[in-house]
Amino acid sequence: MKSLINKILGLSLLLVLFACQEDPDIWDSSTVALDGNWYVTYDHEVYGIDAFGVGYTPVYTYNTAADNGQEIWLSDDDNFWSYKVRIPANPEAGTFGSSEVVTSVVDGYEIQVKIENGQIFPAAVELPSGVMADSIYFEVWFEDLEDATGIANDKLMVSGYRQTGFTEDEH
């Protein structure tokens, strides 16, 4: 009898726990159209495609804590040039960047960076998996890029696609 009472109490407790759970509010950030994990290459006007020979590297675009729909973070998470900048964005137009120079917030490497002509192109590229993925493009200037290329006021053209999670699409 004691075993039966324990089972009934246990079952009652489970029912009470599950009955009290509320469905969470699901919402998108104000920059959801721009947010993503991307595989990109850094190309150069003079030195060509993948000028530094690093191949595709990840970059990340994501909302700021303000969630105001007017700015995003752009970071390479130390995959190429070690930069993380907060830049203006227009999610409705799918654009980001400006002619303003901003300071990267990577500890120990707070260089000046300019992100211009950023654009997301929805479903613009077909990947090996057959999935149509969004494409990204932007131009980047680093204050120390001239040290690497020997060209004053130099910039890199960055382009790539949104990560899909399919193994055959990864680099």
pLDDT in tens, 58-106: 999 999 999 999 999 999 999 999 999 999 999 999 999 999 999 999 9
Identify whether the C-beta of residue 5 lies closer than 8 Å to the C-beta of residue 28: no
Identify whether the C-beta of residue 73 lies closer than 8 Å to the C-beta of residue 84: yes
CATH code for the domain defined by 23-169: 2.40.128.220
109 by DSSP, 3-state: which?
A: coil
Report DSSP letters for 33-53, one per residue: TT-EEEEEEEEBTTTBTTTTS
The number of CA neighbours under 13 Å toward the Cβ of 134 is 18
Q: Where are the domains of the chain?
A: 23-169
pLDDT reported for residue 10: 63
The pTM (predicted TM-score) of the whole model is 0.84
CA dihedral over 47, 52, 58, 62, signed as positive or negative: negative
Q: Is the pLDDT of residue 5 over 80?
A: no
Backbone angles phi, psi at 25, to 5 degrees: -75, 125
**39 pairs with which residues across the strands?**
58, 161
pLDDT reported for residue 2: 63
Place of tokens 């700015």: 71
pLDDT band per the 50, 70, 90 thresholds, residue 6: low
* pLDDT tens sequence across 8-62: 666 666 556 565 566 667 678 899 999 999 999 999 999 999 999 999 999 999 9
